[in-house]
Amino acid sequence: MKTYKVAVIGGDGIGPEVIAEGVKVLNAVAAIDGTFSFAFTQYPWGCEYYRKTGRMMAEDGMDQLAEHDAIFLGAVGAPGVPDHISLWDLLLTIRKGFDQYVNLRPVKLLNGAPCPLKDAAVEDIDMLFVRENSEGEYAGSGSWLYKGKPNEVVIQDGVFSRHGCERIIRYAFEVAQAQKRSLTSISKGNALNYSMVFWDQIFAEVSKEYPAVETHTYLVDAASMFMVKDPGRFQVVVTSNLFGDILTDLGAAIAGGMGLAAGANLNPERNFPSMFEPIHGSAPDIAGQQIANPLATVWSASQMLEFFGYQNWANRLIEIIEEILTEKKYLTPDLGGTATTGQVGDEVIRKLAEK
Ligand code: NAD
Ligand code: IPM
Ligand code: MN
């Protein structure tokens, strides 16, 4: 029997609450399937660990994680610990250290999910964001000069390498070609006269290798407007790290809310473990109350199953999420229900066992 070693980092706030449901669901899938299993290792890393040890993860944390087939992460960030420390020393360390340069974020309105756009039909909101996840605006390059002095200067560089741009754009073309869908590049070459001009140039270059893929390009400001006014324009979308971050929260808003938004951080070459996580944060405003929606995490679990080659199980989980959204019997408060986080997870498992 194949056993997948998965490192579990619940993290902070609602992270451990939602990830517990994801683990329950993955175990249930494996038990029903019978041909594979999961060996989960829980890591207590996050802001609590930081308060005790001064570190967000163990000193050899990346070596420990490297032993796994995947990482399942809840959320990171807690009041009292500066966000740039908690995120850079855990989440971003993993994304960068394991070269998870593809961040795949479906923005898909499932049957039964609430949508704030009047007149939008489910088929109008069916996008797959391919967010660059290793460099760009998140390169971490810059300087802080004359700190605290009147002439203080801060510089934050955007780093766009040919290698980095080509590989993410090529990945997006491969996905669009395989899915027979259009590919839209979102950038900002009118104002960002180096980085985004370069991005646009590479998009045009790579597109020549994929004559069968219909392409579109938008400036990010117009793209944000069209995501609300006419979301049906977008199918597969490729964009930079920061634009992808912002546009996928907008995407979450039009596709049922943060409680339904999933993401996969992939190292496509599989030289390192990939990481699966809901795209929402630790939601300190609702943490500890068992009211967080675990369905985004279940969707990320579906992405993990797909990555391991179990497309049928991946699809079944999405169907189950749709059933739950349509039946409206077990929904958390963000979706207008009164169910707890655990009850929603239990309902997913009950449905898995049903057929
Ligand atoms: P957030 O995503 O945590 O919360 C935004 C809003 O969405 C809140 O009102 C929250 O209650 C709601 N929400 C989020 N997830 C939900 C769920 N599963 N069910 C129901 N409601 C949900 O964003 P924020 O408040 O800007 O950030 C809080 C902390 O999380 C910060 O420290 C931030 O840096 C961190 N953060 C971490 C990640 C990550 O670990 N991947 C992602 C985003 C933000
Ligand atoms: C996300 C988050 C992270 C990001 C933060 C917490 C660093 O917002 O995964 O969307 O910006 O990538
Ligand atoms: Mn984000």
Q: How high is the pLDDT of residue 138?
A: 98
Q: Quick one: what percent of the chain has pLDDT higher than 90?
A: 99
Q: Token pair of 88, please?
A: 């850079």
Ligand 2 pocket check: which of 9, 47, 91 to mutate, most ligand atoms within 8 Å of Cβ?
A: 91
d(CA 237, CA 105) in angstroms, rounded, equals: 10
Question: Quick check: 212 and 174 in contact, CB under 8 A?
Answer: no
Which distant-in-sequence residues (6+ apart) come within 8 Å of 21 by Cβ? 294, 297, 298, 341, 342, 344, 345, 348
Average pLDDT over residues 326-349: 98
11-22 confidence digits (pLDDT tens): 999 999 999 999
Q: Which of 56, 87, 258 to mutate to test the pocket of ligand 1 (most atoms within 8 A of CB)?
A: 258
At 355 the pLDDT is 73
- Could you tell me the distance, in angstroms and rounded to a whole number, from the CA of residue 195 to the centre of ligand 3? 21
Please give the distance, rounded to the nearest whole angstrom, from the Cα atom of residue 238 to the centre of ligand 2.
Answer: 17
Determine the distance separating the centroid of ligand 3 and the alpha carbon of 278, expressed in angstroms: 10
Residue 8 DSSP code: E
Query: Rounded mean pLDDT of 178-184?
Result: 98
> Between the CA atoms of 130, 134, 138 and 142, what dihedral angle is there, to the nearest 10 degrees?
-150
Which residue's alpha carbon is at the smallest distance from atom 44 of ligand 1? 281
Q: How far is the CA of 107 from the centre of ligand 1 (A)?
A: 17
Residue nearest to atom 8 of ligand 1 (CA): 283
Mutate to test the pocket of ligand 1, among 131, 280, 299 (most ligand atoms within 8 A of CB): 280
User: Considering only CA atoms, which residue is closest to atom 5 of ligand 2?
Assistant: 87
- Nearest atom in ligand 2 to 95's CA: 12
Residue whose pair of structure tokens reads 């391919």 in the numeric block: 130
User: If you average pLDDT over residues 315-342, what whole number do you get?
Assistant: 98
Band of the pLDDT at 102, cuts 50, 70, 90?
very high
CB under 6 Å to ligand 1: residues?
A: 14, 18, 75-77, 83, 87, 91, 258-259, 277, 280-286, 292-293, 296, 334
Q: Interhelix angle for 311-327 vs 15-33, to 10°?
A: 120
How many whole angstroms from 50 Cα to the centroid of ligand 3? 22
Give the SS3 label for residue 220: helix
Cα distances from 253 to residues 128, 222, 231, 320, 338, in angstroms, run 15, 17, 12, 21, 20
Distance from residue 10's CA to the centre of ligand 3 (Å): 17
Who lines ligand 2 at CB under 6 A?
87, 91-92, 245, 279
Q: Which of 150, 152, 154 is nearest to 142 (CA)?
A: 154
Which residue bears the tokens 């993955």? 26
Residue nearest to atom 12 of ligand 2 (CA): 245
3-state secondary structure labels for all residues of 104-141:
EEEEECCCCCCCCCCCCCHHHCEEEEEEECCCEEEEEE
Task: Tell me if 32 sits within 8 A of 353, measured CB to CB.
Answer: yes
Closest CA to 50 of 20, 23, 79: 79
| Beta-bridge partners for 216 | 184
Minimum-distance ligand 1 atom for the alpha carbon of 283: 3
End-to-end CA distance of the chain: 22
Ligand 3 mean position, distance from CA 33 (Å): 34
Res 209: pLDDT: 98
The C-alpha atoms of residue 333 and residue 328 are separated, in whole angstroms, by: 11
CA 32 to ligand 2 centroid distance, Å: 34
- Contact (CB, 8 A) for 128 and 104: yes
17 contact partners, CB below 8 Å, separation of at least 6: 10, 74, 287, 288, 290, 292, 294, 341
Residues 6+ apart with CB under 8 A from 209: 170, 173
- Per residue in 48-75, pLDDT (tens digit) is 999 999 999 999 999 999 999 999 999 9
Per-residue pLDDT of 123-179, as tens digits, reads 999 999 999 999 999 999 999 999 999 999 999 999 999 999 999 999 999 999 999
pLDDT recorded at residue 123: 96
